[in-house]
Every structure is written in C-alpha cells, then in structure tokens.
Amino acid sequence: MGTLLSVVVPKNAGKAFMVKKGQRIRVTGRSVVDFVAFNLNDLTERFDQARTKTNQAKVYISTGDQLISKLNNPMLTIVEDSFKEGRHDLQKGMCSRKRFELVAKGLAKRVFAEGIDPNPKKPEEIPDHGCWENLQEVLEPWNIDPRDIPSPFNIFQTMRIDQDTGKMFDTFIRPSDEDHVDFRAEMDCLVALSACPESGRGQAVKVEVFEDRDGGVPEER
C-alpha cells in the first residue's frame, strides 16, 4: 500500500481530512485519540456511538467491528487493532475547557479505577482547551456546527464499567509501546481526530492514509 498522507498531530491538537471508500486510515500512538467521522457526501450523516453499540450488541469494539452512522450505515471497519493491553471506549464524550473547570470545582465527576485523580485543580494548571475545541477548529472549513460534532470513538481509552451499578471508571491503561488501529472506509468520509491532552499527560499521535485499489488521494485541510 502506498502512503498518501502521513502527519503527526501534536498533543492537544486536531486534524481533519477526507478519505475515499476503500482507503485505509492508521492511527498510531500511546495516548487517547478522540475520533469522529461524517459522510463526505452528506455531512449531516455522522458517526453515532449508540448505533455502533446497539447494532453490534457490544460496548467494546475492535478488529472486524464497524463505526456506524446515525442512519445505521457502516462508515468505517476496524481491520487491524494492535492494542491488546486494554480496550477502546464508546461511552464517554470528549474533554473541553469547561469540562476541566467543572471537574476542578467538583461539579463534574471523574473516577479512576486506580484511585488517583491526576486532573489539575489549580486554575493556572487547567488546559485552556481540549478535544472539543480541537475538533471545532479543524472542522470549521466544512462549516460543521459545533453542536453537530458527535460523541467520539475514544481510541486507546480503557474504561471499566461496574456491571451492577453502571459506574464508569477511568483507568491509566495505555499502550506501553506505540500501538495502532487501522480503519477501512466503507463510504467517502470526512474524518477528524484530536490528540487528547489528558490533563497534560497526553502525547502526539501519527495519522496515515494508505492508497486504495483505485489509487485515490485523500484531501486534507
């Protein structure tokens, strides 16, 4: 496969790009990536956490599973997943400046399975933006209203869910080495992602797009 796009997305930054049906996207890294997708030919159709879980009757997805739109159409298929130490998340939303502020004030919860909360508490330590703002910025050229950005597929974010209470626990489980997830586009897509700041603990991620059989080239902005 020829590499058509290869970029490094810095921590707490985003990237948006267009891919054609059949092309492969690879996301490589060691920290959380917030990942969303839209139908390139109808940007009102977008990835949906609920459809993805309900249609496949599972809350964790990996190789062979699909990201499904609100209209019940397959958008992307996970064709390779090297992350074996944990699972990817389909429960949470995304971080933002306001979310950081609410957590710091005790007005929003975040509970860690390890019992340690690494989130900043002092105003000067709180990031001035997060994945929400990153995705807004990179999707602006396509006139995507911030309210239309879907809750993401959180790559490399392992959550633990108490089966009796439904309580969600964040964990510190991340790839020990750089792992990757490969997606095959099942329709022409606009894809956007954010390298999560993880309250200052995040890292840069690498994004690659590989040539499909027709030799199409992805467009980026």
Q: How many domains does the chain have?
A: 1
DSSP state, 46? E
221 belongs to a structural domain: no
In a domain, 41, yes or no: yes
Q: Report yes or no on 217 lying in a domain.
A: no
Q: Which residues contact 200 (CB under 8 A, 6 or more apart)?
A: 120, 125, 127
Q: What pLDDT was estimated at residue 119?
A: 67
Point out the residues of the chain with pLDDT beneath 70: 1, 118-125, 212-221
User: What is residue 185's three-state secondary structure?
Assistant: strand
* Residue 126 to residue 39: CA distance in whole angstroms: 34
Task: Please give the Cα distance from 49 to 39 (Å, whole number).
Answer: 15
Residue 112 lies in a domain: yes
In tens, the pLDDT along 35-91 reads 999 999 999 999 999 999 999 999 999 999 999 999 999 999 999 999 999 999 999
pLDDT at site 40: 98
Q: What is the pLDDT of residue 123?
A: 65
User: Structural domain of residue 152, as residue ranges?
Assistant: 3-212
Element holding 52 (H helix, E strand): helix 49-56
Q: Determine, yes or no, domain membership for 63.
A: yes
Q: Please tell me the predicted confidence (pLDDT) of residue 128.
A: 79
Q: Which of left, alpha, beta for 163 (phi over 0: left; psi -120 to 50: alpha)?
A: alpha
Domain annotation covers residue 218: no
Res 212: pLDDT: 65
